[in-house]
Amino acid sequence: MTIFALSSGQGISGISVIRISGPETKTVISKLTNGNFPEPRVATLKKINKINTNELIDEGILLWFPGPNSYTGEDMAEFHVHGSVSVVLAIQNSISKIENCRIAEPGEFTKIAFQNGKINLLKAESISDLIRSETEMQRQQAIKIMSGKNSEIYNFWRSSLLKILANVEAKIDFPDEDLPEKIINEIHLSSSKIKSEIKKVLNDKKVGEIIREGFKIAILGPPNAGKSSLLNYLSRRDAAIVSEVAGTTRDVIEVHLNIDGYPVVLSDTAGIRESKDEIEKKGINLALKKAENADLNIVVIEPKKAYFTGFLKGLVSSEKTLVVVNKSDLGIENMLEDFSQYNPIYISIIKEKNIDTLISTIRNKLKNKFLSNQNILITRERHRLHLEQCLTHLENFENKRDEQDFDKAAEDLRLAARELGKIVGKFDVEEILGSIFNDFCIGK
Ligand SMILES: Nc1nc2c(ncn2[C@@H]2O[C@H](COP(=O)(O)OP(=O)(O)OP(=O)(O)O)[C@@H](O)[C@H]2O)c(=O)[nH]1
Ligand SMILES: [Mg+2]
C-alpha cells in the first residue's frame, strides 16, 4: 500500500508539503508530472497536473527519495507546493485516484520507519514529542531521547541481563559442571547493580513526564473569588468569561503557558459551593478531579469570604496548595479568620497588585519540581510500567538461589530482559504499536 498525507500544518501557509511513501510512489510522480523523472534527492521544479490531464494544479518542488535511503525505508516523494487548502486538496484527490494509494493514518510514516528498522520505538516516540514540544525544555528532552541517550542505557541493561542469562543457561545445559563461585557471585552482583540503577531511574519524581505533559496547575476556590480573572491575567488573554455573577465558570478552561521555559498547563475551574443546579454540580465535580490530578493547586478566595469549608478545607492543608487572597484592594483588615497558618499571598488582579510575588512563588515551585540529577528521565507511563515489571522479575530471579531453581531463574531473567526490550521495541511490539502511533499527527 502507498500512503500520502499533508505533512506540514493545516490551513493557509507559504508552503505545504505532501508526502508519499510506498511502492506506487514512482507512479504518482509519473502521473502527476511531465518530463524527465527527477534525480534522487535533488530539488526539481515541476508543474503538477491533475491526474491523466494536462490541467495544471500548481508549480512546486519535487523531491524523490528512492528506498531504502528514505525516512520510511520505502520509495518516498515530497511535493512542496503553495500552502493553499485547494492546491493540497486537488493534489491529494489526484493521488487517491491511483490504485493502492490511500491517505495515511496518524503517525503511519514513522510507524513504517520503525517497522523497517530505520528507528527504534523510543526514537519514534521522541519524534512525536519533538513535534508537540512547546517550550525549550520539552524540545531539549525530546532531542536528547531522539539522539539515543535513553536507548543506549536500556540496551546496555538488557545486554547485561542477557549475558547473565547465558551464564545461567550454561549451568542448566551442563549441570554436572559446577559454575565457579566467582561467576555465581558476578551474576548476583551484576543483577543487583542493574536493579539499583533501575530503582534510581524510577525514583525521579516523574520529572520527565511532567516536562513532556506540562506542570499541571489548577485554580480552585469558591465562586466569584477571581479565579477566571487570574487565569486570564496569567495567560494574557481573555480565555475565560469573567463576571460578577457567582457560578459563571462551569467547564474546565485550560491554557498552555511557558513560564521561563517551563511548560505549564493552567486550569480554571467552577467555583466550589453547595449547588442544586445539575450543570453547575457537574462543573464542580470536574473541578474536584482537576485538583486531584494537579501538581499544584492555587486556591483563590476573597477577603469578605475568607474561610474554607468542605472540600477546600481539606485542600488547603495539602502541601501542593498555594492560598491566594484576591481583591486585596477591597481591604483585608476585616478578614474573619487568622490566615497566617496558610501563608497566603495577597493580590489584587484588578489593581495588578503583588501578582509578581505570586508568579515568583510559582516559578520557585516549578524550579524545584523540574530539578533532577538523573542521567535519563522517564517520559511516559509506558516506560515506567516496563521498568517496574523488569524490577519485579529481577527480584524473583534474586530470590531463587538454589541450583535446582536455575531453570526458573533463567525464565525470570528472560522476562526481565524482555521488559527492557519492550521499551526500545525489540520484543512483542505489535500490541503496543497502536497505542504509540495513534497519538501522532497525520503526515508524520
Ligand atoms: N475589586 C476586585 N474585583 C475583582 C478582582 N479580581 C476579580 N474581580 C471581580 O470579581 C468578579 C468575579 O471574577 P471572576 O474572575 O469571574 O471570578 P471566578 O472566581 O472565576 O467566579 P466563578 O466562575 O463564578 O466561580 C468579577 O466581577 C471581577 O471583575 C480584584 O482584584 N478586585
Ligand atoms: Mg470563573
| pLDDT the model gives residue 339 | 81
- E strands, 74-149, are 76-83, 101-103
Task: Locate 198 and state its grid cell.
Answer: 533501575
Residues having CB closer than 6 A to ligand 1 are 223-229, 242-244, 246-249, 271, 326-327, 329-330, 348-350
CA gap 182, 197 in Å, rounded: 22
Percent pLDDT > 70 in the chain is: 93
Q: Which atom of ligand 1 is nearest to the CA of 224?
A: 21
- E strands, 1-95, are 2-6, 13-21, 44-49, 56-65, 76-83
| pLDDT the model gives residue 406 | 74
| Alpha helix ranges (H) inside 147-277 | 149-173, 181-202, 207-213, 227-235
* CATH superfamily for domain 211-370: P-loop containing nucleotide triphosphate hydrolases (3.40.50.300)
- Taken as a whole, the chain contains a residue count of 444
Alpha-carbon distances of 88 from 71, 93, 164, rounded to whole Å = 22, 8, 55
Sorted by where each begins, the domain ranges of the chain are 2-104, 123-204+378-437, 211-370
Ligand 2 centroid – CA 298 distance (Å): 14
* CATH superfamily for domain 123-204+378-437: tRNA modification GTPase MnmE domain 2 (1.20.120.430)
Sheet holding 296-301, edge to edge: 253-259, 262-268, 215-220, 296-301, 321-325, 345-346
Percent pLDDT > 90 in the chain is: 71
Q: Is 333 exposed, middle or buried (0-12, 13-18, 19+ CB in 10 A)?
A: exposed
Which one of 243, 279, 329, 354 would you pick to mutate in the ligand 1 pocket, going by the greatest count of ligand atoms within 8 A of its CB?
A: 243
Ligand 1 centroid – CA 241 distance (Å): 10
Summarize pLDDT for 179-233 with one digit per residue, the tens.
Answer: 667 777 788 888 999 999 999 999 988 899 999 999 999 999 999 999 999 999 9
Ligand 1 centroid – CA 59 distance (Å): 55
What is the pLDDT confidence band of residue 87, given thresholds at 50, 70 and 90?
A: very high
CATH number for the region 2-104 comes to 3.30.1360.120
Instruction: End-to-end CA distance of the chain: give it in Å, rounded.
Output: 16
Ligand 2 centroid – CA 341 distance (Å): 26
